[in-house]
Amino acid sequence: GARQQSSLCNESLMLEKLPACGKSFEEMMKKVDSQKWCNLTEFIMYYDNFTQCTEREANNASCFWPNPLAEGFITGIHKQFFSNCTSEKVHWEDPPDEILVTLILIPVMLTCAMITLVVWCSKRSDIL
């Protein structure tokens, strides 16, 4: 008869096998200049192999993927290789007062001019 696979996740087996994925990824990342570790295009194939490996090992242990334990392992790899890849936050500043006043006054003046033009034209209905 058909052999029924246990549906229980073997977490200890998964945690035993995941480090091999990390080691393989580490070996592949040695081929990439560490200055380029923040540029995903430089190692996307290696990362894809790492992801597939972690998914395969989780599935072999009858665990769904991703799961909290696998995510914790993956997060550890991220900390090891990508901790310096934080994006710089843009610090927004108001423009100088002269520019700010100009940017505010231009639409206000145009609005006043258009209102004046509409009122003037409506009083001079003989032109229309």
Residue 31 shares a structural domain with residue 75: yes
Residue 29 shares a structural domain with residue 77: yes
Check pLDDT > 80 for residue 127: no
* Number of structural domains found in the chain: 2
**Residue 14's pLDDT band (boundaries 50, 70, 90)?**
very high
Tokens of 100: 């700010």
- What's the CATH code of the domain at 56? 1.10.150.510
Residue 38 shares a structural domain with residue 73: yes
Residue 31 shares a structural domain with residue 73: yes
Predicted local distance difference test score (pLDDT) of residue 28: 95
Tokens of 72: 């914790």
Please state, in angstroms and rounded to a whole number, the distance separating the CA atoms of residues 37 and 52.
20
pLDDT digits (tens, 9 = 90+) for 36-84: 998 989 999 999 999 999 999 999 999 999 899 999 999 999 999 998 8
Name the residue range of residue 67's domain: 11-82
Residue 55 shares a structural domain with residue 118: no
pTM: 0.61
- Side-chain-facing half-sphere of 20: CA atoms under 13 Å: 12
Q: What is the mean pLDDT of the chain?
A: 88
Sequence letter at residue 1: G
Tokens of 16: 């035993």
Neighbours of 113 (CB within 10 A): 10
**Would 103 be classed as within a structural domain?**
yes
Residue 24 shares a structural domain with residue 70: yes
